[in-house]
Amino acid sequence: MSKSKLTRRALLGSAAAAGGLAAFAGPWKHNRVWAAGTDKPIKIGITSDASGQYANSGASDRRGMLMAISEANAKGGVLGRKIETTHIDTETTPATGSRVAERLISREDCGFLVGAVSSGVANAISQVAQRNGVIYLNTNSSSPTESGKNCHRVKFVWDGNGTNFAKAAVRNSIDAYGGKVLLLTNDYVWGHDTAKATRTLIDQYGGEVLDEILIPQGTRDFSAALLKIQQTNPDVVAAAVGGDDQIALRQQVAQLGMGSKPAWINNQQDWPDVYGLPLDNLFGVFGTTWYYGLDLPGVKEFVERYQTMYPDTSMRVPGNVFYNGYMATRELLAAIERAGSTNNIAIIKQLEGHVMAAADRMQHDDAVIDPITHQVQQTIYLATANDEPRNEQDMFKILTQSSPQDVRDEASLGSCKLESYDDTPSFDA
């Protein structure tokens, strides 16, 4: 009887076959695994707009992310690994957003995606991100659906949304100016969702919507809409018009001297959209999550760091878009550090429900990443044009501040259905 002998070659062959079989038959949800070598940089894909309606805000968003990454790298990186970035222009176009996300994940091996201003683009990116299990930070888009029906386990929303801003503004305006409201709505997802939220609040506070004028994206001449507003004669115009459209609208309203009558609620005002405009363009009240003139500890140093890092930027002080880009990225890196791993599920768990101290965020209230909707619940400020500016950057006057509880978007709690952890592909970045 011959005795079988286990040779080294046979052993290696068996091990290779077993390994191959295991890889083939392994759990399909773990479909992408990157080697988590400690010397390998952590790659973040930046998905911000560099062209189209939100090109200017996209640049500001990007600067915020890069400052957070630069500061982390200066301290030795995260988990001892350097952070690298790749940016591809999402062109303020949802279809491009999808393509960019696919490319950053599959060809550039990015383990995280950060950035958005347009809600349509953010939604497109997040669908690709969820399919691949890649954590995606929606830094600056503020459609309520982003943390409502379009929420995802991998997506975290950092800006206040249309409902938060409307809650801060609508009641005050109806009380002060009257209840006949005309809605001026950008004809895309953010505009519609914001208008819907505003409508609900107007009904709730006893107001009446006289009409809604839809503004197609890319509109440059608002004279027809402005004539229609005059013919309708509302007490308040609730505008949800963003980006370059809003800039053109502001200039044309200012030219007609219609900034004070009727009263205007401009749901949210992104800093890059108004920076450098004459003060009479900044009519009405509007919401924001942060202002460089807030009298809070750390704000002055934050502005100085911005000015040191970006000495040649025409925008001499950071605004809300920069702030959101910075805070989102900084918190992502902190979550990786807390998780002690780059496993996406471990990091998601670190982000969910995470409380951020008011002092760290340079806001008036502690903020929390809602574990149900993944939206950051934070202080919302109501502002208007500053009629007594200290310098040419001092454009806003903060009127009121609302705590996260007062402006909470209750509707999204019911409409957001996050995918389970098991249904989210898991990997180490």
Partner 1 sequence: MMELVPHIINGLTLGLLFALIALGFTLIVGVMEVINLAHGSLFALGAYFALATLGGGWFGSTEFGVWWLSLPIGMRYVFALVVGPLLAAGAGMIIELCLRPTYGKAPLYGLLLTFGAALVVEELIRLIWGTGEQSLTVPQAINGAFLMGGLIFSKYKFFAAGFALLAIGGVWFFLERTPYGAIIKAGSHDSEMVRALGYDLSKLRLLVFGFGASLAGLAGIILTPIWGLRPHVGLDVVIPAFLIIVIGGVGSFWGAVLAAVLVGLSVGITGAYAPAWSMMSMYLLLIAIVGVRSRGLLGRKSALEN
Contact residues for partner 1 (CB under 8 A)? 51-52, 55-56, 59, 187, 213-216, 218-221, 223-228, 230-231, 244, 247-248, 251-252, 255-258, 272-278, 281, 313-315
Give every strand in the sheet of 376-377, ordered side by side.
355-356, 367-369, 376-377
Closer residue to partner 1 in complex, CB, 258/358 = 258
E strands present in 122-262? 135-138, 155-157, 180-186, 208-215, 236-240
Q: How far is the CB of 219 from partner 1 (least distance, A)?
A: 7
Q: How far is the CB of 208 from partner 1 (least distance, A)?
A: 20
User: What's the CA gap between 298 and 201, in Å, rounded?
Assistant: 35
User: What's the CA gap between 395 and 233, in Å, rounded?
Assistant: 29
Closer residue to partner 1 in complex, CB, 247/336 = 247
Q: With 0-12 CB in 10 A as exposed, 13-18 as middle and 19+ as buried, what is 223?
A: exposed
User: Phi and psi (nearest 5°) for 44?
Assistant: -110, 130
Closer residue to partner 1 in complex, CB, 68/241 = 241
Closer residue to partner 1 in complex, CB, 19/257 = 257
Q: How far is the CB of 281 from partner 1 (least distance, A)?
A: 8
Q: How far is the CB of 239 from partner 1 (least distance, A)?
A: 13
Q: How far is the CB of 231 from partner 1 (least distance, A)?
A: 6
Closer residue to partner 1 in complex, CB, 76/257 = 257
Is residue 310 within 8 A of residue 326, CB to CB? The reply is no
Closer residue to partner 1 in complex, CB, 259/287 = 259
Which of 166, 101, 116, 112 shows the shortest CA–CA distance to 146?
A: 116
Eight-class DSSP state of 159: S
Q: How far is the CB of 272 from partner 1 (least distance, A)?
A: 7
User: Phi and psi (nearest 5°) for 276?
Assistant: 90, -10
Q: How far is the CB of 214 from partner 1 (least distance, A)?
A: 4
Closer residue to partner 1 in complex, CB, 202/274 = 274
Is residue 273 within 8 A of residue 49, CB to CB? The reply is no
Closer residue to partner 1 in complex, CB, 211/366 = 211
Q: How far is the CB of 183 from partner 1 (least distance, A)?
A: 11
Closer residue to partner 1 in complex, CB, 157/247 = 247
Q: Which residue has the tokens 């109501």?
A: 382
Q: How far is the CB of 122 from partner 1 (least distance, A)?
A: 21
Closer residue to partner 1 in complex, CB, 56/140 = 56
Closer residue to partner 1 in complex, CB, 159/273 = 273
Q: How far is the CB of 51 from partner 1 (least distance, A)?
A: 7
User: What's the CA gap between 39 and 32, in Å, rounded?
Assistant: 19
Record the tokens describing residue 346, joined without a space.
């471990």
Which of 116, 183, 108 shows the shortest CA–CA distance to 152?
A: 116
Cβ atoms < 10 Å from Cβ of 179? 17
DSSP 38-58: TTSPEEEEE---SSSTTHHHH
Is residue 364 within 8 A of residue 288, CB to CB? The reply is no
Greatest Cα-to-Cα distance within the chain, rounded to the nearest angstrom: 106
Q: How far is the CB of 207 from partner 1 (least distance, A)?
A: 22
Enclosing H/E stretch for 397: strand 396-402
Q: How far from 230 is each of 12, 95, 198, 224, 237, CA to CA, in Å?
A: 83, 37, 21, 10, 11
